[in-house]
Every structure is written in C-alpha cells, then in structure tokens.
Structure 1
C-alpha cells in the first residue's frame, strides 16, 4: 500500500498557495536518510515537507532509475554508468546504505525505479524530478502522464533539451543555472520559452543576480541550503523555494532538543559534518553511543581531524552547561584528542586550516589522551587558535567511560572531568563570544564515542 500521511500540498497549484519560501527535501533529505530511496521519501513526507526532489536516469531499456550519480558505484552494489544499466539490473541491485550513509543502516534497500516513486508518492506530495541524462526528460514526462500525475510534478534539468517534453505537455519546468550567468540566455527568453522556474546556487550566485531573476518574473529556487546561517543570508523576498539536504534544521530558529538522541542509532537534524570529511559524519554503537574515528591513517588528508555539528542543540543561550560521557577507544599519541567546539552560528568548523578549512569563531575544548584538558579561543578563518588555559590529569584508559562538564557563564568557561578521583578542571576568563552558539563534536587522531550529551 502507498504511504499515506496528510500532506500540506499535493499539487504544484497548492504548493504555490503556501507562503514563501517553500521547502524541498534534496534527494529526499539526504542528511537524514539514504538519498533517493523510498525510505528517504517516506521520511520527508512523514515530517511534512512541502516537496521532494529526486534524480532520474534513463536506462538502456527505457526504464528510469532514481539515482543521483552518473555511475552506480557510490550508493549501490552495482557498478558502471548509471545510464548503462537495465531495469532488471536495477531490480537485482541494492542500496548498500550501511557502507556509505550510516553503519547502522542495512545494505539491502531497494533501488527505486521512477514508477515506484510515482506509485508511492505521486499525487500526495509535489515532486521535483531532476532529469540527468539524454532522453530522461521525455521518458519522465511519459511516465508522469501514464500515472496521471502531471499536476504534481516539476521537471528539472541543466539544459533546455530535457525540458522540451514537459513544456509541450504543460508541465512546469525549472532550468538549473549554477551561478546566474544563464550561458548567453536572458530571463525574458527563458520565460518566453516556457520556463517559469530557475535553480540557482547562492554560494556561487550574487544576491543581485537572484534578485534580478525574481524581478524579471522567474520563480527562484535556491540549492543546496543546509545551514541556518546560509539561509539567513538569502534575499528571501526573491526566493520562491529552498532545496535542502536537511530542511528541518535549516529553517528552524530554536533548539530542537536539549539532549542527544543517539539511541535512535542514526543521524538527527543538524548533524552536519565538514567538507574535508567527505561526508563522514561518524558511526553509532548500541545502545546509545555516537562516535568519530580518525585513528591510524583515517582522514590523514585532513591532518587527522573530523568534526560533526550537533545542530539540534543550538542556538545555545549566553550561559549554559554541557555534559557528556565519553570513551577514547584508540589514541595515536599522548596529544591526540576528542573535542567539544562551540562556534558562533551553525557554521562549519574544520580544525585543519592548511587545506582550506576554517576554524570559525568560538571556543575549542580538548580532552587529550594523556588526561590534560585545554581550552582554546578561535577567531575565525586561518588565524591560529589562542590557548586560554589548561590542566593536567590522569591518562585516559582506552575503553573506559569518562564524563566531561563544560560550564559557560557571562565571563568564564570551566571544563571538568568529573568521574576521576582527582577531577581535572580548568577555568578561563573570556567573554568574546556568547549567544547563537552551536556545539560540535570532533576528534584528532583518535577513535572516540559520546553518550548522554545534554544541555542545561
């Protein structure tokens, strides 16, 4: 039976009646569930998303697979060009989500065909169908017409050739144009050709170009906006809709929780990693542990650093306490550490600035394998961090559960290991950053786990 929750909009006409900006789950919400799977689409619909974006490729026998990459390797147990597959090959394949998305997910999810998505969600929630290879646009339109879902679909592509069939059928279309240059086209020309929507990347498109496209009469859909700070920087009066990998986090303004939900054994809203982590956002261990691993040679290209923001806890108030249990399972050296980083805003924090990362402004509390606890202040960009203070403590025993408490007041920060016979505690005086702060968990040259993470 098709999944059948209550949707805020079922057709594009109903979507247009919603207040701007509308929110579209990119690949079904790929930071929350394995991208382009029925499971991701069900999740997005259950959580009340306005619309869902999916990717399709035309197969050798005329079928349509739902998949993002030009090759099948990254997200499935199949190999070779995606468009070189056949429908039977797709049916025998599986999405091996436990290998690339999250270790707690199974490796035998079905690879959806486009007809599966239309049967499951068509007519219940609007779909943005990204047509990726030659002929996929016409094939998608034919499938939509067979299922009588033309009123609930928007066809998207990088070129007008793949939009032609949709335009002829009266189905709305969106042309992707990453930086707003239009490749020699004009806004008036796009509108005259029948394209109502334009997709722009705000990281590459100037605000003036976004505003100009909207002023010309195009409905601007921006992609891919995953952080609240990036959303806040948009010219919202000019934005018709926002595509996001985690729209539930990006559109929120208040903390979603005051403690972790690691017992769910999968990612929660706002658990965003770093670019150099190549989408490594950690692992889960029953019953309620979340972990990161850069031991040995893992992430050596990022100087052994990996971090994941716990965005559901932010923004933090001006004064707060953070508690968590932690375990160091493996440490490469006495100076190797697990870290709690507090940044101003939900920005990316990367402790390796030699490869283009940014430390962001805030504080970094390090618990080293030799037992010392250090507090640093970071000023953003590639500026060196300033050590505010530190203390020594008993060497950490691998596999042992410890506890850290970090207390932030108007003028001080105190970090204390509370579960040792002689608690290691350090207090520093600094009031540079307060309010609108977000916590990140990080590691350098260790394999570590956290549990019972709570804000009070």
Structure 2
C-alpha cells in the first residue's frame, strides 16, 4: 500500500466531537462488540479501541499486553494465535450478563461501524517490541477494511512513534494522531514528522497555551479520558475537537 495514496490535507476532519472510550467505557466489557453496541445505544457515533497483533498476524482488540485483567486467559496475548484467542471469554470479568463475550477482531469492529455509519479511533497498542510491525499491520488492515468507505475511514493513534511511523509508511492517506500523557521534549516535532493531523492528550495537559500551540501548527486537539462534568466543560470552553469518555451514560454526544 505504501505510496499508493496521498496523505490527507490537515483540514480534513469528519469525526464527531464525542468518542466512546473502548466502545462504551465501563458499561460493557471494553473493546468488545458488546461495548460498541452499548455505546451506539447511547447515541455515540464514534468509538475508540485498542488494536494489537496475534502471533499469526491477526489484528484484534485488547488494551493490555497480558490477558488476565479482561479475559479468562493467561500470559502475553500477542504470543497466542487467533484461534486460541478467539476461544477466550472477554466478558465474564465485567459482569454475568456479558459472560462468554469473545474478543473482537478489527475486521468485526469495522463491519459494525460500517453497518451503522459510525467512525472508529484505533489506538495502535503493540505488544512491546513489535511497535513498527503492529503499526504496519493495523494500517494495512484499516486501509483494506475501509477501502470502499473512505467517508468513515478511521483515525489511527498511538503513544508509540514507531507504531505511527509504520502506519505512515504503509497507508499514508489514513489520518494519524499522536497520543501524549506528558508533553515530552520534541513532541511537536514528532507529530509534524509523522504527518499527524491531531494530538490526543491527557485532558489535564490542555490549557489555553497548549491548545493555541497545537492549533497554530494546524493540529486537531483531542483529550482522554474525560469522565467529570467540570473537566468536560473546561475542554468544551477551550474548543477541543474531540473528547474521549467512559461516561456515555452521562454526556449526550450531541452537546
């Protein structure tokens, strides 16, 4: 795919302001289709998810490197083939109502979004040591899955610059954003060199100065994970372009 399409102009931004974290925050088991359905039931038209690679190269959704917190499996998720991962219970940890909910592939998430006319923010979440390969694989899969639905093409984000570089090399036309939990030295230069069109910061990092700095560079501004009314109002007053929240039950997405 590399070089097959030009990168998007900085002004192209189709995404809704409100984004459901990991599908539906905490109301359903994160990163599952059940969570996407829950977020959609609350009116959300965009979800965020975490994507990584199985041992046999399948892109699937999981936040942690290990399986214990959100499945009945054990060990490093990326060490297992998809056939093994697909048999795990990724819902029982959350509540009895979701017991038996499986892990989701990126392909399944794409089908759900496209069937509903929704958007997806795919955080590239590599198993440590696979950053470049995971960025390439996620971008290749996203470019293929959304090839016939460019209007709803996903936003690719990551804390890992190597993952974003892999995505840039593989599918330069897809929109990218740099995730930041601190404003480390050189973050702006990295965002520019990776041709990102957005920065996605811990919400506490945004103030009048940082918003002005980002927007002066032509970057869109997004924040995570915003669960309190006071924090949401502060960000709305600052004019942020995107707010990622667990509280799909508290914040109506059309506000």
In structure 2, stretches of 5+ residues that fail to align are 1-10
User: Residue 108 in 1 paired to residue 97 in 2?
Assistant: no
Structure-1 separation of matches of 2:254 and 2:242 = 18
Q: Secondary structure at the match of 1:30?
A: coil
Residue 216 of structure 1 deviates from its aligned partner by 2.5
Q: Tell me the number of residue pairs that the alignment of Structure 1 and Structure 2 aligns.
A: 234
Contact 1:24 1:242 in 2 (8 A): yes
Choose the corresponding residue for 2:186, options 184, 187, 197.
184
Structure-1 separation of matches of 2:219 and 2:185 = 16
User: Residue 172 in 1 paired to residue 175 in 2?
Assistant: yes
Choose the corresponding residue for 2:74, options 79, 92, 103.
79
Choose the corresponding residue for 1:61, options 56, 78, 87.
56
Structure-1 separation of matches of 2:187 and 2:254 = 38
Structure-2 separation of matches of 1:141 and 1:253 = 29
Q: Which residue of 2 aligns with 1:15?
A: 14
Q: Which residue of 1 aligns with 2:135?
A: 137
Q: Secondary structure at the match of 1:56?
A: strand
Structure-1 separation of matches of 2:47 and 2:179 = 16
- Pair 1:32–1:183, CA change in 2 (3 A): same
1:274-423 pair list within 5 angstroms: none
CA root-mean-square deviation: 2.6
- Pair 1:59–1:253, CA change in 2 (3 A): closer
- Pair 1:13–1:42, CA change in 2 (3 A): farther
Choose the corresponding residue for 2:111, options 110, 113, 119.
119
Instruction: Name segments (4+ residues, structure 1) moved above 4 Å.
Output: 204-207, 251-254
Q: Please, what TM-score do these two structures have when normalized by structure 2?
A: 0.82
Q: Which residue of 2 aligns with 1:50?
A: 45
Contact 1:137 1:155 in 2 (8 A): no
In structure 1, stretches of 5+ residues that fail to align are 1-11, 255-456
Residue 204 of structure 1 deviates from its aligned partner by 4.5
Q: Which has the higher helix share?
A: 2
Contact 1:56 1:67 in 2 (8 A): yes
User: Residue 215 in 1 paired to residue 216 in 2?
Assistant: yes
Structure-2 separation of matches of 1:139 and 1:122 = 20
Structure-2 separation of matches of 1:64 and 1:105 = 26
Which of the two has higher C-alpha Rg? 1
- Pair 1:203–1:14, CA change in 2 (3 A): closer
Residue 96 of structure 1 deviates from its aligned partner by 3.7
Contact 2:43 2:253 in 1 (8 A): no
Residue 83 of structure 1 deviates from its aligned partner by 1.5
Residue 253 of structure 1 deviates from its aligned partner by 11
Q: Which has the higher strand share?
A: 1
Q: Secondary structure at the match of 1:105?
A: helix
Higher relative contact order (CA 8 A, sep 6+): 2
